Structure 1
Amino acid sequence: MSIVGWRAIADELNPSKSTLKLELRHEHPWDVTPREAVAIQNRLRGLISLRDDLPETIGRVTGVDVGFEDSRTVTRAAVVTLSFPELNPIDSSVARRPTSFPYVPGLLSFREVPAILDALRTLRDRPDLILVDGQGYAHPRRLGIACHLGLLIDIPTIGVGKTRLTGTHGDVPDKRGAWVPLMDKGETIGAVLRTRQGVKPIYISCGHRIALPTAVDWVMRCTTRFRLPETTRYAHRLASG
């Protein structure tokens, strides 16, 4: 199904439905200063699991992305669930909230996660695996938006970044599926992955309850003939309106 076709029927997939029970495993205030947000990140980062703890069967993969409206005063979060392995869209949701946290590099989750939680709550079914447009462990304090979200809702998550936030890496072979480690202070914090020959690589990192090689594998499983996985492509178009 084309992106255009998907956007035309998105509302039909999600007209009105019961709220998904989404229990938060860790709660904290969102109305905080940037300094308080950093303190929360430092407190939560030790709780992230970088080991595989996925459902035995994964039949639903969900993409998450966020856009903005009205001169960035409104945060627009979009989530799209695809069937796996078919990668056909089967559910979607969009949630809007007033933008209440400033743009601060490294504190993206405090600006975007509240709206993402609202959108996730209106899905029909709990996702098996979530791919977030943004960083996970590849973050200066090892708690990017994918880690933060996955920890709060206790669902396996992967960070899929289009650009690098931190770390260094070598050249990535120009071959589909090739990757090199993303390093920071002697630690592997992610993978720089070539999803398609002849195009720029993307930045993959663990969110929560998944190991890095498994995260790379799942991103490739969700990627067809484009640079970005289908989860990210569908969510991005919906978040962009």
Structure 2
Amino acid sequence: MTSAVCPETVAEAEAVQDRLRPLVDLVGPGPARPRTIAGLDVAYAERGDRLAAAVTVLDAGTLAVVETAVAVGRAAFPYVPGLFAFRELPALMEALGQLTTAPELLVCDGHGLAHPRRFGLACHLGVLTGLPAIGVGKTPLLGTWEAPAATRGSWSPLRDGTETVGRVLRTRDGVKPVFVSVGHRMDLDNACAQVLALTPRYRLPESTRQADRLCRGALGRLPASDLE
């Protein structure tokens, strides 16, 4: 497990992705009515390499917060395009390990299949935990698309060449869309349905919003000496 989370070189990190990629289940279909959904997000200090990883478990029916966990640490890998997940994985796995509530779906602030190496954070976390996982990105890492219609629920394919790697999904009328891709043990139709269920009021899933608030708050409580 350690080597799959904390490689020391670019070559080792790419080898991890190559080894784990065939384990990704892109068919799913995944839970149609999950009872608990975990949102995962990471906040970075303005200076230095400190970060806070947060997991917020929601009741899928009410979107009320059931449990939260935070792990504060340092970026575990240099910034390398296509390998960004390795910066965050140790802290995210630590936060997930603190939970006493087992989430039935992971919603990552990032990407799954819609990744240059077809193995984004949602894929990596899904394979490591065995849980269904999806990625919901604010911006794309790659691909071409046409703008979906302006109404909530409209979507268009996100394509990389001839391959469909995700969907551009409108979660609010007339508001910028999000970029949804499968991570593990989900199909794309279900992934988009879950995202729409998580966005009754805002553009981003409530799972992401709550996790974002939690990790930013954790960083804000650190003494200034810890942020260097």
Determine if the TM-score, normalized by the shorter chain, exceeds 0.5: yes
Determine whether 1:110 maps to 2:86. yes
Determine whether 1:89 maps to 2:65. yes
Determine whether 1:186 maps to 2:192. no
Counterpart residue number, 1:163 = 139
Alpha-carbon distance in 2 for matches of 1:139, 1:84:
27
**Percent same amino acid among aligned pairs?**
46
1:151-230 equivalences under 5 Å are 151-230=127-206
Give yes or no for contact 1:53–1:156 (8 Å, CA) kept in 2: no
Determine whether 1:45 maps to 2:21. yes
TM-score normalised over the length of structure 1: 0.85
Q: Which amino acid aligns with 2:204?
A: L
Deviation at 1:167, TM superposition (A): 0.7
Alpha-carbon distance in 2 for matches of 1:170, 1:68:
32
Runs of 4+ in 1 over 4 A off after TM superposition: none
For residues 66-117 of structure 1, give each alpha carbon's deviation from its aligned partner in whole angstroms, at most 9, with x where no partner exists. Answer: 0123724222100000101100011001001222311122112110011000
Partner SS for 1:182: strand
Give yes or no for contact 2:30–2:187 (8 Å, CA) kept in 1: no
Point out the more displaced range, 27-36 or 199-208: 27-36
Partner SS for 2:37: strand
Partner SS for 1:235: helix
Q: Which amino acid aligns with 1:166?
A: L
Q: Which amino acid aligns with 2:186?
A: I
How many pairs are equivalent? 217
Root-mean-square deviation (CA), in Å?
Answer: 1.6
For residues 101-137 of structure 1, give each alpha carbon's deviation from its aligned partner in whole angstroms, at most 9, with x where no partner exists. Answer: 1112211211001100000111111110010000110
Give yes or no for contact 2:169–2:179 (8 Å, CA) kept in 1: yes
Partner SS for 1:45: helix
Alpha-carbon distance in 2 for matches of 1:123, 1:74:
22
Q: Which amino acid aligns with 1:177?
A: G
Partner SS for 1:121: helix
For residues 49-79 of structure 1, give each alpha carbon's deviation from its aligned partner in whole angstroms, at most 9, with x where no partner exists. Answer: 1112535752101100001237242221000
Partner SS for 1:240: helix
Counterpart residue number, 1:126 = 102
Determine whether 1:141 maps to 2:117. yes
For residues 127-178 of structure 1, give each alpha carbon's deviation from its aligned partner in whole angstroms, at most 9, with x where no partner exists. Answer: 1001000011000110000000000110000000000101111121101010
Q: Which amino acid aligns with 2:14?
A: V
Residues 186 and 163 of structure 1: CA distance in aligned 2, closer, same or farther (over 3 Å) = same
Alpha-carbon distance in 2 for matches of 1:29, 1:157:
17
Q: Which amino acid aligns with 1:66?
A: V
Q: What are structure 1's unaligned runs of at least 5 residues?
A: 1-23
For residues 1-49 of structure 1, give each alpha carbon's deviation from its aligned partner in whole angstroms, at most 9, with x where no partner exists. Answer: xxxxxxxxxxxxxxxxxxxxxxx6x963613212321222122212111
Partner SS for 1:39: helix
Determine whether 1:65 maps to 2:41. yes
Alpha-carbon distance in 1 for matches of 2:32, 2:104:
10
